[in-house]
Amino acid sequence: MRIPDEMLSARLYGPRDMRVERVPRPTDPGPDETLLQVTVTSICGSDLHWYTDGGIGETRIESPLVVGHEFAGVVAEIGENARDGFDNPLSVGQRVAVDPAMPCHRCEYCEKGHPNLCRRLHFCGTFPDDGSLSEFMIVPARTCFPLPDELTNLEGAMMEPLGIGIHAVRLAEINIAESVAVLGSGPIGLFIIALAKLAGASPIIATDLHPWRLEMAKLYGADLVFDGNEDPVQSIRAATGDRGVDVVFEAAFGNETVYQSAQVAGLGARVVLIGITEKNSFALPASTSRRKGLTIKMSRRMKHTYPTAMKLALERKIDLNTMVTHRFPLADADRAFALNAAYENNMVKAVIESALVS
């Protein structure tokens, strides 16, 4: 393959200012690195935070940033000793799903088994590290997981949000027949619904502000769905005989859904918070949370979940495609983000195709 010297790249200059530009292509992957031709990137809620606010929490854009961290690509060039996430040699032409996180594997937290909390973590699409909304990028070989023939590039990109769901569900330690509420039925919420079902939860109750997402929640395995605009706390309490649920997942962006988490939780319940709130703070009902003896866990990214995600995908235990409602070419990245941020057109998950490689 002859690789062009220039490429298209979608760069975010500030809030709602994304420009698709022609830029020099990155060259010469170093040792343990690979040059990747990006095929598909799916848009994540956290990308939307970058897009609408120009940052997340205390991290802000200081110069143009390429977002995108849920992606797959084809290996175009390899550096010396490039070994993949399974510790096998990588080769040119291989299709791969890429874990956007590159922990140092050396610090105290990595050594203690918390690579997701690594002090020196690099993460694609989080300032100052560029993400995947370009035609080419250089990534550490170790973050590449070769895609079996049975999985498409799009399914490869979905390993990332599925991995986030796996990590959150593992944190909850669900037992068979425990009741679960999932507040927010976006892509992460939908994966959590499907994974909670696999883990044996019953019933699974989902909420969302958008009716089309509630329909999607049913497709992904929710037993009951409630409109988040119409007192979901009352609905969930009524559905559980005023007992509340054993496990709550907050997978929305809302301050109110965090508050609701404690209200719909039962005594001794576990609450896992995954969504990134709009403001850099949230509230919980203090006495309710305390009296119920809640265990509250904050979910931070994931821990080496790609092999598990890929196994579930290969065994067709998880539907990776139904939630993908929109596709755009890289040249239309700005429009894709604007539509997604406005929750228009019955959108659940949008993907951006950088290259037409099947």
Output 107 or 339, the one with its CB closest to Zn ion.
107
110 vs 222 by CB, closer to Zn ion: 110
Partner residues linked to 224 by β-bridges: 205
Residue 324 is a binding residue for Zn ion (CB under 5 A): no
The single residue listed with the structure tokens 């995908």 is: 313
x/- contact string, 138-157, with Zn ion (CB under 5 A)?
A: --------------------
Quote the least distance from Cβ 70 to Zn ion, whole Å.
5
Options 109-117, 172-180, 207-215, 306-314: segment touching Zn ion (CB under 5 A): 109-117
Select the span of 10-18, 103-111, 247-255, 343-351 touching Zn ion (CB under 5 A).
103-111
DSSP 23-91: EEPP----TTEEEEEEEEEE--HHHHHHHHHSEETTEE-SS-B----EEEEEEEEE-TT-B-TTS-B--
Residue 244: name the closest of 191, 298, 291, 297 by CA: 291
Specify the pairing of strand 136-140 against strand 122-123. Answer: unpaired
Q: Please, what is the minimum distance in Å from the beta carbon of residue 126 to Zn ion?
A: 10
d(CA 286, CA 258): 12
Interface residue with Zn ion, options 18, 36, 40, 110 (CB under 5 A): 110
Q: Which residues, listed in sequence order, are joined to residue 9 by a DSSP beta bridge?
A: 21, 134
Nearest to Zn ion of 124, 245 (CB atom): 124
118 scored as a contact of Zn ion (CB under 5 A): yes
Cβ of residue 256: shortest distance to Zn ion, in angstroms?
A: 22
User: In 3-state terms, what secondary structure has residue 170?
Assistant: helix
Per CB under 5 A, which region of 54-62, 100-108, 252-260, 274-282 contacts Zn ion?
Answer: 100-108
Task: Say how far apart CA 111 and CA 249 lie, in whole Å.
Answer: 28
By DSSP bridging, strand 17-24 and strand 6-14 are: antiparallel
Site for Zn ion contains 192 (CB under 5 A): no
**Min CB(161)–Zn ion separation in Å:** 5
Residue 223, CB-side half-sphere exposure with 13 Å CA sphere: 16
Rounded Cα distance between 67 and 124, Å, is: 7
Looking at beta carbons only, is 236 or 310 nearer to Zn ion?
Answer: 310
Q: How far apart are CA 104 and CA 85, in angstroms?
A: 14
- In the bound state with Zn ion, the residue whose beta carbon lies nearer, of 44 and 193, is 44
Give the binding-site size for Zn ion (rule: CB under 5 A): 6
> Per CB under 5 A, does 107 bind Zn ion?
yes
Work out whether 76 is an interface residue with Zn ion (CB under 5 A). Answer: no
Smallest distance from the beta carbon of 340 to Zn ion, in angstroms? 13
Smallest gap, in angstroms, from Cβ of residue 264 to Zn ion? 25
- Rounded to whole angstroms, the Cα distance separating 33 from 65 reads 21
Cα-based angle 160, 112, 100 (whole degrees, multiple of 5): 20
Shortest distance, position 117 Cβ to Zn ion, whole Å: 8
Q: Distance (Å, rounded) from C-alpha 156 to C-alpha 75?
A: 14
- Tokens 């037409």 sit on residue: 356
Write the binding mask 38 to 67 for Zn ion: x where contact by CB under 5 A, - elsewhere: ------x-----------------------
In this complex, which beta carbon is closest to Zn ion, that of residue 76 or of residue 110? 110
- For Zn ion, the closer CB: 25 or 69: 69
- Tell me which of 56, 104, 296, 357 binds Zn ion, using CB under 5 A: 104
Q: Interface residues with Zn ion (CB under 5 A)?
A: 44, 103-104, 107, 110, 118
